[in-house]
Structure 1
């Protein structure tokens, strides 16, 4: 079956190459954002995987609840402590953050930044409640400058994701990296957006990351993906017209199956014969 990629930068293709032999796998997505657009986990969910999605923005959280009913969806942030925190939301983007300085930069750039109070939970407590003894096949962290506090709230001696991918700056100057490498993880790849880490007990998966995604991965981008042909207004109108036509056809079938329709057809046949 062709692999449909939804992720922003081939993340799901790289992960699938390493983990495609795992059945009913499990993931944790910190900063899940939209359940489909640019989602690292959507393709896995479609293949029977489940996981935990942590997302504080109400619109994305509600969409996750609707589209990912088999996942555990949490409207909170992952942090170092269990406190109420100020979260700076930027609707319709993946730029929402807990970092006030970063929020101010976005505000100065003309973005609509709105603050709200959100619950914080440690990643360790989330794992204790929802992961229990399950293996965590990958952990994805995309939290716009809040990476260190997420990592400080995790106990890597008890929960050992096989693969961790964390959004990192282009300069690769992340001060928190020792929290990961010191916990027995090896940095194996930087894809321009994320750094991938492998648990030392799963280094046998490293060859899956040695070459970039290619035709041998037998994948296609989802409709409207930034790397594929953009969806035009005409295509949107066509899709809407097809949907209306399918609805009208369904109504016609329902009418034809009704008693009144069958009675009318019998009367018509009698009149024709007469």
Structure 2
């Protein structure tokens, strides 16, 4: 979290410099982009918030026991709307609204109290009777039901390197918030279906190609990270922390609205 606040301070300083240097006319713009979201595996970590009683086949689970597993996510679509202001000293500031979704590929390595139980009878989760005909925990988890949706608003600051009239590389950083909707339903079992709003930060690098004074294309790479959020587990008396990290590749356009030279 400390690194998040450091990034926020850097962004705030850059934005301040941009405004303080805007002695001459600038130029507002709007734009949009679309691309590919490549999410990292989600390392889910939580704990039991209540005791789970023992059965004839399974031991009790005490409140406070650690719960964690890994969720592998498929690549998905990323969409963005942009509104910004370009100063004549190379700085830009921008508001970005985004949406992306990643479908679950599979869950694996479910651990309770530090012990992986993928090979255990899945009845350990439902507290039903053990039976050789039951699938294992790992089999139940290795399905692709579920998704993570992200809706967010970011405040970004960029610096454009004017190497020619038409070609402009740039770097930037941003902070904001993401509304994250987590749905985990392996084998149709409702494990998690919850939402949370979390602090988000990102770093960007890209290149702009100016086709005309009123239209430009750009390609951009974004690394985005959302702080771990706590989500209620429906199957068991537990909460789960889900951390989101994404590598995003976008192509888009900007329309300058006049005011600059």
Same topology, TM > 0.5 = no
TM range (shorter): under 0.3
TM-score normalized by structure 2? 0.20
Structure (1 or 2) with the greater strand fraction: 2
Structure (1 or 2) with the greater helix fraction: 1
